[in-house]
Amino acid sequence: MDEDHPQIVIHEAVEALGNMNKYDSLKLLKKFESEDSPHTEMVRETVELARDLIEWNQKTKQGETEGLHTKKLRVRTNDPAPPFNFWANAEFASIPNL
């Protein structure tokens, strides 16, 4: 554990970078993703999610190309992952199936 920055603080900072959705944040995220990083698996997994969110937002114009308008969602999330688009697959809209 980094004595100056407890892992949970780094985890939250990484999550915030993903939520800010700045493509420039990817460079900083890569610092925490490297194999020789002293950070825990929790931080590395959060980095992966934040990186994937930024790339997904860029690729899909924040979900528009997938028919998911994230700004119009009734329930929004600040998780470092894209929202689940159950409209794209009817199988996933079925409660019994889930």
pLDDT classification of 24: cutoffs 50, 70, 90: confident
pLDDT in tens, 2-14: 456 788 888 888 8
Q: Return the domain boundaries, the chain.
A: 7-93
pLDDT classification of 37: cutoffs 50, 70, 90: low
Residue 58 carries which side chain, given as an amino acid letter?
A: Q
**Buried/exposed 6-27: b ≥16 CB within 10 Å, e otherwise:** ebeebbeebbebbbeeeeebbe
DSSP code, position 80: S
Residue 20 carries which side chain, given as an amino acid letter?
A: M
Q: At what angle do helices 25-33 and 41-60 cross, to 10 degrees?
A: 150
Determine the pLDDT at residue 1: 42
Token pair for 59:
């690729």
Cut 0.75: pTM above it: no
Query: How large a percentage of the chain has pLDDT more than 70?
Result: 77
